[in-house]
A = this chain, B = another copy of it.
Amino acid sequence: MRAEMDSEAPIGVFDSGVGGISVLEHLTKSFPSENFVYLGDTARLPYGTKSSQTVRMYAEQCLEHLHLRGVKSFVIACNTASSAYLEKAYKTKPVYNMIECGSLEIIQKTSGRKTLLLATKTTIQSGAYSNCLKNLNSSVELILLAAPLFVPLVEEGVLSGPLVEEVLRHTLKPVENLIAQKQLDVCLLACTHFPFLREEIEKYLGSGIEVTDSSSQLEKLLRQDKKNHIQSLRRSSSAGSLQFILTDSSDHFQKFILQRWPDRKIDFTHI
């Protein structure tokens, strides 16, 4: 009875804003019958320019809120929040974070040249990726680059065009020689907002650099955990429910969601 209740319970996903939607899109495709609750902390976004201490406090508040809503596990769909909350559980329920997934992705994709890691300032300053790769016994050479203007672009829905190109030129200037000399093999989008700019980033970096993110590894971890009985996935042929909770009202956010899941029944709540 308990196991059944657990499997029906939703998976709780959170991010500061729309970034985590890139992760949720992957998860709803991979686990179509699962129920999801997504918390967007829009009242305090962005996280990536704030201190680790402040972001950790926000992350714990988001985890607690989702816990009170009875989720069976948590996905921190935000690299910055992940870098500030690295524990693998919250109140005995499993927590999946982006840092581990991103590190596994780098290890799998690199062919031995340098990996470019694009992230927020706070993620980079945390050192979380370097530490995680070290713990995984990897000696991949990371080039860490903060891209603080990508999040505002995505939150504003500016995903292509000359302005995106100029922001890319400005941001990638410190690595322009590495790009020109083909010294990079992988570019990890280590902020969940960035996959919305993927096509433009790919175009800018040119061929020979694989642009990737953490979602596939997250999917793998969730499937492994199912096998390990750490958590049960829902067994149903019907589509799961999708619920969105925002800490600040946002028409923009609602439009963004409705465009992405036009066929799903979606519930919005503002707290």
Q: Enumerate chain A interface residues (CB-CB to B < 8 A).
A: 42-45, 49-51, 53-54, 148-149, 151-153, 155-156, 158, 161-163, 166-167, 169-170, 247-250
In the A-B complex, list the 3 residue pairs whose CB atoms are closest, starting with the nearest. A166-B166, A152-B152, A163-B170
Q: Which residue of B lies closest to A49 (CB)?
A: B155
Interface centre among A53, A162, A166, A167 (most CB of B within 10 A): A166
- The residues of B that contact A155 with a CB separation of less than 8 Å are 49
- The residues of B that contact A152 with a CB separation of less than 8 Å are 148-149, 151-152
Name 8 extra pairs, CB < 8 A, besides A54-B249, A149-B156, A161-B170. Answer: A49-B155, A50-B248, A54-B247, A54-B248, A148-B156, A162-B169, A162-B170, A163-B170
Q: Is the CB of B156 within 8 A of A166?
A: no
- The residues of B that contact A149 with a CB separation of less than 8 Å are 152-153, 156, 158
In Å, the complex CA distance between A54 and B44 comes to: 10
Contact A43:B49 (CB < 8 A) given known A149-B152, A152-B152, A162-B166:
no
In Å, the complex CA distance between A27 and B153 comes to: 33
Q: Which of B42, B44, B163, B169 contacts A43 (CB 8 A)?
A: B44
In Å, the complex CA distance between A53 and B49 comes to: 23
Q: Is the CB of A248 within 8 A of B42?
A: no
Q: Which residue of B lies closest to A151 (CB)?
A: B152
In Å, the complex CA distance between A169 and B166 comes to: 12
- Taking the closest CB of chain B, its distance from the CB of A65, in whole angstroms, is 16
- The residues of B that contact A43 with a CB separation of less than 8 Å are 44, 50, 54
A sample of 8 inter-chain contacts (CB < 8 A) reads A43-B44, A51-B249, A148-B156, A151-B152, A152-B152, A158-B170, A162-B169, A163-B170
